[in-house]
Structure 1
Amino acid sequence: MLSFDKKDSFVFFTYFASFAVIVPLSGLYLNNSGFDTKQIGIILGIATLTRVLGPYIFLFLAKIRKDLIGVGTIQCILLLVATILGGLFNNNVIAILALCLTNILWVSILPNLETVSLSYLKGDINRYSTIRMWGSIGFIFVSLWASYVIINFGSKFFWYILIVLSVLQIVSVSSLKNFGPFPVKENQRKIFRLERGLLGYYLVFFLFEMSHAPYNNFFSISLVEHGYSGLYVGSLIAFSVVCEIVTFAKGSVLLKYFDVNRILIFCAITAAIRWLLLEYYISNLFLLTFSQLLHSFTFALYHICAMHVLSRNATQDVLGLRQTTYTVFTMGIAAAIGSYLSGILWHNVLLNVSSFITVGVFSAIISLLLVIFIMISERKHKNTLNYYKIN
């Protein structure tokens, strides 16, 4: 029988292969379907906001069934139904509905996957990083050719690709059932309770995700507008994830030598630089490629830090709540607001800049200031661990 690490790696591989289609290519799919940038921003904002619904609903279901793997398999089956709905009907209203359902179900899977992984690994960030690295490999595997297929063969392939990936997710998630049901206890924390000591970090994570919204939604569209081919689009996205893989493989080592807040400050500064490069040098292939290299810091290293913070002093039940809240704040609310603002401010006449600046850079700067504030606040506590202690 394959080990947990290998099967869990396949789970992350299939999940983030879907990520490679849903996040960077939804805007391209809508653009090829005839929507303008403002409409795309509104549609993606609504579709992304619906992500808030899924995680808490399925966390509640997991508490009732006491089986994270069983609930995860149900989520994957429902995701397959949503993607089939989008692929079957040639109607914009149904396509938008299917996109909303896909976002609800797809995002709600992630907290369960993270909780199962970190619980089984007992918070071992080194093993987690190696497993999570396979998610990045799955992202590369799809992003190399998905954008090319959608651009050259039609927007319907957006759904056809997702249908295949949804089937693979069902297979991969259900394969973990032999390692236990991973029960969720009923008698611990309330589902919607927030921990005071983590509120500042949740806001930082919120701003980081908002900072990425213009990139996630309009990067591929911007490349096409500047004359890059579908192959270039896929290759540049894939290159960013290659850098991400290296960071996931080795990045956790930095936590042994640097305080997590200092790393987050570095990530925020790097993010601001990255969006500035995309704003002013997107036609320069060298600087454009360099900006993709920075993905290893603006996403991968940041994510390692986030998982490190959330796994501190956490039982499985508490970890499940934290992961759900993290997903709702970042991939739900922050991504929705960022998507909406990105569409509205994509070609901002008043400031003469795109949303790479108005949303991306500004969010990164605010997150930088907030991390500095958290770092100063923590220094006032004699024992930093008490700051995270669950009361």
Structure 2
Amino acid sequence: MPAQALSFALFLFCYYAHAGTWSTYATLFFADKGMTVAQIGVLMSMIQVLRIVGPNVWGYVADHYDRRVLVLRMAGFAALAGFSGFFWGDSFGQFMLAMIVLNLFTSGQAPICEALMLSEMKGDLTYYGRIRMWGSIGFIVSVTLVSIALERHGIVALPWLAAALLIATIGAAFHLRDVPRRTHKTAPPPLLSLLRRREVIAFFTSTALMVSAHTSLYTFYSLYLERNGYSKTVIGAMWSLGVLAEVILFYFQSHLFRRWGAMRMMYLALGIGVLRFLMIGLGSNMLWLLVVAQLMHAATFALHHSSSVMTLQRWFSGPLQARGQALYMSISYGIGGSLGGLFLAQWWQRAGAESVYFVAAALAGLSTLAALLTFRWQRSDVSA
């Protein structure tokens, strides 16, 4: 078990408690402020857009000055300053500015923390899932408790609750310390040469498409449920159910990966993803079907995320580890999430809410094809 396991778990708990609370209920907050579905789609897409820039900027700063924990702390204070805009803002432009500042600084925190974890684990990912699951537990606890508070006090309470969780994240960063870097006998391969390899391009294409599919959940799921007559308590419970399934899988995943490997687990996650999105689109009025679909989050997020991180280590290990994590966040969640959120927002406007999830199923199918190419080309390059 890593020496800082408890500190990593605490930071992830607080970070994802805030991120989960805000991403789950912000659409309802913006709708209450009079924003249209298209405007909400643009505002929520800033969560993904800033992941194109944030992880690489703060990852570079942290690596260049070798002070990753300091960057985590300073980013937290800057994010809190940006979040204050939600208390006094009431227009689309003001909310857009607040979303940009908030997500510019928070988007780099998770990859920096994960890079610290991977450095301390020294390539042994046995305990990765059991530490990472505390982020999911933070999500469950906060989303559940906040849903109760919002039912009682209304959506106006959301900024106060989310700000309190952001302050807790800053406090958790003060329990972390920097991990000494390992020295490497050989220089790492040039980054650009790695990014030009066809299997690496196919890998990032696959992960970006899968994240694009998931923006149908991250951006619109709460609004989708509310407009089909479900209460905020049910909405919170549905999110918590999905993340509870995710926690269980994170805890037991090491046995699955030891037996079946990252490639088979990724194929399984992608196949379940296609089925899950079809079920959500078809089951808007069938709560039991939506519950089953939420349980599939264990595969479509947790299993896919872990198999992606493990596959990434084949190319971005050692001195490229932190940069690989930043690229994964920037390309998959930044580019993939941004384009997916903006495209699906327009699709909702033109074709209706249910059809968004049929498009998401198609994106997951395309992600599967790209993953097939990734592993096929990887094998052929090794054999050559």
Inter-CA distance 100–151: structure 2 relative to 1 (3 Å threshold) = farther
Number of equivalences: 379
Query: Residue 311 of structure 2 is aligned with which of 294, 309, 312?
Result: 309
Once residues 16 and 28 of structure 1 are traced to their aligned partners in structure 2, the CA distance between those partners, rounded to angstroms, is: 19
Cross-structure match for 2:169? 169
Query: Residue 269 of structure 1 is aligned with which of 268, 271, 274?
Result: 271
Inter-CA distance 14–130: structure 2 relative to 1 (3 Å threshold) = same
Inter-CA distance 378–60: structure 2 relative to 1 (3 Å threshold) = closer
1:306 offset after TM fit, Å?
A: 1.2
2:355 counterpart of 1:354: yes
Query: Secondary structure in 1 aligned to 2:108?
Result: helix
Cross-structure match for 2:294? 292
Cross-structure match for 2:120? 120
Moved more, 26-35 or 287-296: 26-35
Q: 1:2-27: CA deviations, max 9, x gaps? A: 94111111011011112212333232
1:151 offset after TM fit, Å?
A: 6.0
Confirm or deny: 8 A CA contact 1:7 1:176 kept in the other structure. Answer: yes
Cross-structure match for 2:340? 338
1:261 offset after TM fit, Å?
A: 2.1
Cross-structure match for 1:44? 44
Once residues 306 and 173 of structure 2 are traced to their aligned partners in structure 1, the CA distance between those partners, rounded to angstroms, is: 22
Query: Residue 319 of structure 1 is aligned with which of 312, 321, 325?
Result: 321
Confirm or deny: 8 A CA contact 1:244 1:300 kept in the other structure. Answer: yes
Once residues 78 and 353 of structure 1 are traced to their aligned partners in structure 2, the CA distance between those partners, rounded to angstroms, is: 38
| Amino acid aligned to 2:333 | M
2:80 counterpart of 1:80: yes
Query: Secondary structure in 1 aligned to 2:41?
Result: helix
Alignment of 1:19-58 (within 5 A): 19-46=19-46, 48-58=48-58
Root mean square deviation, CA, Å? 2.5
Confirm or deny: 8 A CA contact 1:268 1:365 kept in the other structure. Answer: yes
Q: Tell me the TM-score normalized by structure 1.
A: 0.89
Identity of aligned residues (%): 22
Query: Secondary structure in 2 aligned to 1:354?
Result: helix
Name stretches of at least 5 consecutive residues in structure 2 with no aligned partner. none
Confirm or deny: 8 A CA contact 2:17 2:140 kept in the other structure. Answer: yes
Cross-structure match for 2:106? 106
Once residues 199 and 231 of structure 1 are traced to their aligned partners in structure 2, the CA distance between those partners, rounded to angstroms, is: 41
Moved more, 320-329 or 53-62: 53-62
| Amino acid aligned to 2:41 | G
2:376 counterpart of 1:370: no
Q: 1:34-81: CA deviations, max 9, x gaps? A: 112122223323453133221121122113321111111111111111
Query: Secondary structure in 1 aligned to 2:35?
Result: coil
Once residues 68 and 192 of structure 1 are traced to their aligned partners in structure 2, the CA distance between those partners, rounded to angstroms, is: 24
2:217 counterpart of 1:219: no
Q: Tell me the TM-score normalized by structure 2.
A: 0.91
1:152 offset after TM fit, Å?
A: 5.5
Moved more, 39-48 or 360-369: 39-48
Once residues 229 and 352 of structure 1 are traced to their aligned partners in structure 2, the CA distance between those partners, rounded to angstroms, is: 18
Moved more, 282-291 or 190-199: 190-199
1:382 offset after TM fit, Å?
A: 4.4
Once residues 339 and 293 of structure 2 are traced to their aligned partners in structure 1, the CA distance between those partners, rounded to angstroms, is: 24
